[in-house]
């Protein structure tokens, strides 16, 4: 049986499923918590403008900031590596780990690590890679993929997790979330302490000091970047701000927008490996700065999407995401931001479809803490897709014919009369229950109003025209 390959076919398979229902209810929880998060903060609304200003400034000066970041991190004893693409990034990470004879690697959550598919590569090189974020740990155990940027197992219930743990970890079944958390804690504790290396993402880098900032709630991010000898931080090259003051403003925004918290539990600012006099911490810090298509996005129409701080708010606000879930997008970055980033990073084939997975309702832009103009960029990508001839022929021809007809008063008048006449035999009581061809998409779940016998235009001419 072949895998569904379009957003629509994946969505069709997921809608109404157990997974989709779990996602919808999960999101409702998020929305409730987030609702007043900005109101309560003393400079709430202004925060969005400040965050936008900081991020746009950083993108406009990205090369300069990255260079400064690398200089400062070097001064602090860290090492910076430059990866043009996923292949290079994996290679660099593998080389670092092999040089330090690393066998057990613990990982804290990083979207970019999934983007470059590092786990498989390291395992091919003979290492054991353990996901330690609870959600990612569950996903790894299940051989699944995350369904939401912030909440990777939004699509699973506690019963699902309980069954998984019983099967894979050999523990007695429980579906109590507290107990499940404790099982994961016990299981992973020793791994943290024995691991040779830790891999993390970077929520935000600070150019002026060469710092990387990690934001987590569970504590595994601190373990993976403190206990092992080697720390590798994977950084999407756009995740940077100029100064510590700028970072603090973005951090105020990030937790509030993602989960409605004032701050996440652990906000870790790391500037180099441990010093001689530090009692703990890694001996080596490597930051791998990754391009992998970002400079293409930066040089194009959708550059603004790189200002994203990965809070996930647009996902939760999107009616399409809420209905179909993250897996429908078929890729690492889902939801409104994913619909723009994915074709940007990986090209229009086959990802041109994602910008069409939207009603253009604008809820994403409304909640975005960086005020990113998502609908505008979705339209730009649609224009690109249409220009590349990706739309179905019936749509292109239909719209073209419609455009010429409706812009010619006589043709339009005549077309309306014809439509009304043609629809008579398939209508009842002014409504059409079944349409052929593409129209079937409508009538499979809705009736369609029948074109009026007398259009407004005709009525006006008869009754009001001079």
Q: What is the CA radius of gyration of the chain?
A: 26
Which residue, 143 or 464, has its beta carbon nearer to another protein? Answer: 464
**Secondary structure (DSSP) of 340-400:** HHHHHHH-HHHHTTGGGS-----HHHHH-TT---HHHHHHHHHHHHHHTT-S-HHHHHHHH
Which residue, 117 or 187, has its beta carbon nearer to another protein? Answer: 187
Shortest approach of another protein to residue 310 CB, angstroms? 17
H/E stretch holding 177 reads helix 177-194
Residues in the chain: 466
Shortest approach of another protein to residue 283 CB, angstroms? 8
Phi, psi values for residue 95, rounded to 5°: -65, -45
Which residue, 144 or 208, has its beta carbon nearer to another protein? Answer: 208
Spatial separation of the C-alpha atoms in residues 439 and 54, rounded to whole Å: 47
Which residue, 120 or 383, has its beta carbon nearer to another protein? Answer: 383
Spatial separation of the C-alpha atoms in residues 302 and 344, rounded to whole Å: 8
Spatial separation of the C-alpha atoms in residues 303 and 340, rounded to whole Å: 10
Which residue, 29 or 145, has its beta carbon nearer to another protein? Answer: 29
Shortest approach of another protein to residue 386 CB, angstroms? 3
Q: Among all chains, which residue has been given the structure tokens 């804290």?
A: 108
Shortest approach of another protein to residue 119 CB, angstroms? 19
Q: 45 by DSSP, 3-state: which?
A: helix
Shortest approach of another protein to residue 85 CB, angstroms? 9
Shortest approach of another protein to residue 65 CB, angstroms? 10
Tokens of 360: 């253009």
Which residue, 122 or 288, has its beta carbon nearer to another protein? Answer: 288
Helix axes 456-463, 409-423, angle to 10 degrees: 110
């Amino acid at each position: 049986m072949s895998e569904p390959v379009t957003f629509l076919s994946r969505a069709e398979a997921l809608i109404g499923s157990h997974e989709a229902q779990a996602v919808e209810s999960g999101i409702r929880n998020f929305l409730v918590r987030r609702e007043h998060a900005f109101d309560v903060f003393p400079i709430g609304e202004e925060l969005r403008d400040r965050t936008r200003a900081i991020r746009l400034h950083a993108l406009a000066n990205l090369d300069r900031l990255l260079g400064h970041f690398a200089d400062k991190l070097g001064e602090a004893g860290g090492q910076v590596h430059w990866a043009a693409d996923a292949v290079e990034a994996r290679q660099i990470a593998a080389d670092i780990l092999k040089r330090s004879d690393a066998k057990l690697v613990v990982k804290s959550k990083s979207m970019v690590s999934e983007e470059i598919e590092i786990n498989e590569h390291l395992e091919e090189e003979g290492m054991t890679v353990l996901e330690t974020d609870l959600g990612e740990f569950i996903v790894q155990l299940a051989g699944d993929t995350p369904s939401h940027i912030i909440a990777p197992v939004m699509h699973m219930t506690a019963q699902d997790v309980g069954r998984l743990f019983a099967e894979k970890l050999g523990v007695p079944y429980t579906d109590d979330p507290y107990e499940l958390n404790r099982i994961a804690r016990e299981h992973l504790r020793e791994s943290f302490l024995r691991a040779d290396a830790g891999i993390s993402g970077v929520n935000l880098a600070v150019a002026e000091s060469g710092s990387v900032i990690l934001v987590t709630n569970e504590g595994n991010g601190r373990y993976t970047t403190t206990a092992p000898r080697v720390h590798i931080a994977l950084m999407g090259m756009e995740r940077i701000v100029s100064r510590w003051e700028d970072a603090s403003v973005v951090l105020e925004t990030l937790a509030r927008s993602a989960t409605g918290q004032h701050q996440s539990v652990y906000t870790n600012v790391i500037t180099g490996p441990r010093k001689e006099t530090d009692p703990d911490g890694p001996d080596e810090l490597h930051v791998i700065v990754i391009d992998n298509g970002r400079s293409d996005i930066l040089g194009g129409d959708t550059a603004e999407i790189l200002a994203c701080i990965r809070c996930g708010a647009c996902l939760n606000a999107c009616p399409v995401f809420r209905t179909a879930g993250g897996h429908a997008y078929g890729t690492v970055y889902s939801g409104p931001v994913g619909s723009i980033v994915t074709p940007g990073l990986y090209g229009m084939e086959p990802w041109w479809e994602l910008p069409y997975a939207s009603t253009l309702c604008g809820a994403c832009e409304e909640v975005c803490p960086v005020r990113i103009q998502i609908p505008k960029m979705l339209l730009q990508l649609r224009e690109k897709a249409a220009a590349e001839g990706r739309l179905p022929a019936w749509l292109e021809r239909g719209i073209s014919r419609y455009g010429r007809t409706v812009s010619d008063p006589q043709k339009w008048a005549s077309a309306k009369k014809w439509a009304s006449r043609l629809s008579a035999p398939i209508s009842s009581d002014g409504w059409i229950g079944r349409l052929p061809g593409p129209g079937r998409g409508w009538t499979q779940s809705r009736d369609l109003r029948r074109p009026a016998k007398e259009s407004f235009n005709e009525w006006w001419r008869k009754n009001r025209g001079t």
